[in-house]
Amino acid sequence: MLGSGIYALVGKAAGVVGNAVWLSFVAALCAALLTALSYASLGSRYPRAGGASYVTDRAFGWPILSFAVGLALVCSGMTSVATQSRVFASNLASVTGMTSIPVEALALGFLLITAGIVFRGIRESMWVNVMCTVVEAAGLLIVIAVSFSYWGSVDYFETPASTLDGSTALLILQGSILTFFAFIGFEDTYNVAEEVKNPETTIPIALVTAMLLATVLYIAVAISAVSVVPYQELSAAPAPLAAVMEKAAPAFPAVVLVAITMFAVANTALVNYVTASRMLYGMSNQGLLPPAVARVHPTRQTPHIAILILFALLTPLMLSANVSELAAATVLLLLFTFAIVNAALFVLKRRPGEQEGRFEIPTWVPALGCLLCIVLIVVRVASSDIKAPLIAGALIAGILGLYWLLARQKEALQT
């Protein structure tokens, strides 16, 4: 759940909401929790690899929609891995002084190591995930600890008076749209459900607990940040939490915070690689992708073909200079999949005779979650430049085109 986004999001959100940035995290939790509860409920009902694609097919019976949802999640995961690989490489070069080595070469090395860990197995991947999460959480706790003496020094409801006529509620809503993306990652738990012990109970507990703990950390970090550094300066800082540490604990080695950031970046990349490989594996088992994609390595018991396919696609993507623009576009695809998954649960809950899980939620939760995701899509499109929606549209067109080609190939083989 903890990802690298919090290190930059605090500054961006503070520029919009001011000292009340912590309220944006509370509002974002309420928004993200609706979709997370839907995922938790689905995880207790249908614990399968590539779960989002599976429940879409089960609810609507439209293979093309299931295909689009699955590959949209894969695209989102791939762009995240590619972006984090470049960020990790840049940080590694600055920490170690390996400036003579091209960033692309370092990023490729990181990508190889990540693919190797994913190939080794889900147990090894999760151990690395736990280690990185502990280091990242420790970094955030250090920021909170050194800033604690500053708590209470500012008005935590102060907002930029010149924006939106000083309407605090509207400012918090704007800020929550930014901070909502700090909670993205909960969907990964469901998509690897097939490899989790007792997923019917484990997934709901893990999802809800992780979100609540992350929120407590995020709120404390937000309060700490604006207590130490004025929100106007915080929003302009290229590394907001580094600016906080520099003022609150000037003797603290800056390189340590960079190293902690690298663990956060590596964690995000690893989780997204695991999720994308399991999504391809699950889609193949559903018959949406060629059967070869679902092959499992005889000794490691991992979907090695899916892992290799991702590596082959990730390498040129990581080398692309426009990967950040692609990442912005896939955020829209991720919100699209959230809306579809919420709608799928709504349909399944209302269908007579459909199996129930150990974690059931009221029907209004997925309905409201779907509506909120649509609102976020509209706001993102309206507030960003035209490039992101155009790229997202092109990706969807490409996904639909690939579905058509695979369908024709399947028909040709059958005849």
How many angstroms separate the CA atoms of 183 and 208, rounded? Answer: 11
Q: What is the structure's pLDDT at 358?
A: 84
Is residue 404 exposed (0-12), middle (13-18) or buried (19+ Cβ within 10 Å)? exposed
How many angstroms separate the CA atoms of 164 and 153, rounded? Answer: 26
pLDDT tens for each residue of the chain, 415 residues long: 666 678 777 888 888 889 999 998 888 888 888 999 999 899 888 887 778 888 999 999 999 999 999 888 888 888 888 888 888 888 888 888 787 888 889 999 999 999 999 999 888 998 999 999 899 999 999 999 999 999 998 888 888 864 445 477 777 877 887 788 778 877 777 767 666 778 778 888 888 888 888 889 999 999 999 999 999 988 888 888 888 999 999 988 888 888 888 898 899 899 999 989 988 998 888 888 888 999 999 998 899 999 999 999 999 888 875 666 676 777 788 888 999 999 999 999 999 988 888 888 999 999 999 998 898 888 778 776 787 788 888 888 888 898 888 888 877 776 6
**Contact in structure between 328 and 388 (CB atoms under 8 Å):** yes
pTM, entire model: 0.85
What is the residue extent of each domain of the chain?
6-49+81-322
Residue 192, beta-bridge partner list: 49
Tokens read off for 253: 């080695």
Q: Could you tell me which residues come within 8 angstroms of residue 200 by beta carbon, excluding any fewer than 6 positions away?
A: 43, 44, 45, 47, 357, 358, 359
Q: Could you tell me which residues come within 8 angstroms of residue 17 by beta carbon, excluding any fewer than 6 positions away?
A: 23, 24, 159, 160, 171, 172, 174, 175, 231
Estimate the share of the chain in helix, then strand, then coil, as percent rounded to the nearest 5. Answer: 80, 0, 20
Q: What is the structure's pLDDT at 323?
A: 65
CA dihedral 120, 121, 122, 126 (to 10 degrees): -30
**Contact in structure between 104 and 345 (CB atoms under 8 Å):** no
326's enclosing H/E stretch is helix 323-350
Is the domain spanning 6-49+81-322 CATH 3.65.10.10? The answer is: no
